[in-house]
Amino acid sequence: MDSENGPPDKATTEEGAAAPSAPAPQAVDTPIAQPVPRRPFSRRLFILGGFWSGLLLAVVGVAGVPLDFVFPRNVKGFGGPIPVTPDRIPAEGEDPIRIFEGRFWLANLKAGVTANGEETPGGLLALWQKCPHLGCTVPWRADFSFRGSKGWFRCPCHGSTYTKDGGVLVEGPAPRPLDIFPLKIKDDLSIVVQTGEGTSLKGNALNPSRATPYQPGNETSD
């Protein structure tokens, strides 16, 4: 339809048909770039840190073992000092007493000459229970009769037999008498026995002479 005051409407053709309208603009959802958050550690730093940490652990692993021997920590139980109170110390000439936590037999010898013929000042001996042959634990056999007397240390593995007064070897394949641990007698008559592989003294036929007279202040001499 013509307008009375101007040109015909743009939307009307000569034939009067309505012209197709232009498509309405569509909103485009354009993603907005966000700043990438910074990582606290870069990959390079992470790899370097892993390398140096691994190297440090390797050094500590290699060097730590010898240091542990050079500067031993406060060892308790076997391998360190074992205190023994007076009530656990056998009377002179009595059967030896087993000190389980220290893995030794504590003997108290009478001064003089032993039944096996060795001289001794008398006193205490801490005899390591480990057989010097192949390491079996050697029990005290109060009921075991041998060579006309009763009461011996007798290894159950291969029969090594040791005297009551000092663990002197009298029979069997062991290469020597029982090893001993050094001990010290304190003022209150308790004792401290130094145990462990590194502190043991090799057993020999003079074990009875190494007994420590049971007096305060005395200690085992090499």
CB of 127 to ligand FES, least distance (A): 14
Residue in 172, 153, 174, 173 with CA at minimum distance from that of residue 163: 153
Residue with tokens 């003079």: 206
Taking the C-alpha atoms of residue 182 and residue 219, their distance in angstroms, rounded to an integer, is 7
Stretch that binds ligand FES, among 8-16, 45-53, 95-103, 128-136 (CB under 6 A): 128-136
Stretch that binds ligand FES, among 64-72, 98-106, 167-175, 189-197 (CB under 6 A): 167-175
Taking the C-alpha atoms of residue 151 and residue 28, their distance in angstroms, rounded to an integer, is 105
User: Is 131 one of the binding residues for ligand FES (CB under 6 A)?
Assistant: yes
Taking the C-alpha atoms of residue 181 and residue 80, their distance in angstroms, rounded to an integer, is 11
Instruction: Choose which of 116, 172, 190, 204 interacts with ligand FES (CB under 6 A).
Output: 172
Stretch that binds ligand FES, among 8-16, 56-64, 150-158, 179-187 (CB under 6 A): 150-158
Q: What are the backbone dihedrals phi and psi of residue 37, each rounded to the nearest 5 degrees, phi first?
A: -65, 140
Instruction: Choose which of 97, 136, 170, 192 interacts with ligand FES (CB under 6 A).
Output: 136
Stretch that binds ligand FES, among 43-51, 102-110, 130-138, 176-184 (CB under 6 A): 130-138
CB neighbour burial string for 14-26, b if at least 16 within 10 angstroms, e if fewer: eeeeeeeeeeeee
Phi-psi region of 159 (alpha: psi -120 to 50; beta: other; left: phi over 0): left
Residue 99, strand partner residues = 104
Residue placing its CB nearer to ligand FES in the complex, 153 or 181: 153
Instruction: Choose which of 56, 134, 205, 206 interacts with ligand FES (CB under 6 A).
Output: 134
CB of 86 to ligand FES, least distance (A): 32
Q: How far is CA 87 from CA 15, 77, 119, 189, in A?
A: 132, 19, 27, 10
User: Is 107 one of the binding residues for ligand FES (CB under 6 A)?
Assistant: no
CB of 160 to ligand FES, least distance (A): 4
Taking the C-alpha atoms of residue 222 and residue 220, their distance in angstroms, rounded to an integer, is 7
Tell me how many residues contact ligand FES (CB under 6 A): 11
Stretch that binds ligand FES, among 26-34, 63-71, 116-124, 169-177 (CB under 6 A): 169-177
Instruction: Choose which of 120, 129, 160, 195 interacts with ligand FES (CB under 6 A).
Output: 160
Q: How far is CA 204 from CA 56, 104, 132, 146, 180, in A?
A: 47, 16, 11, 21, 9
Residues that bind ligand FES (CB under 6 A): 131, 133-134, 136, 155, 157-158, 160, 172-174
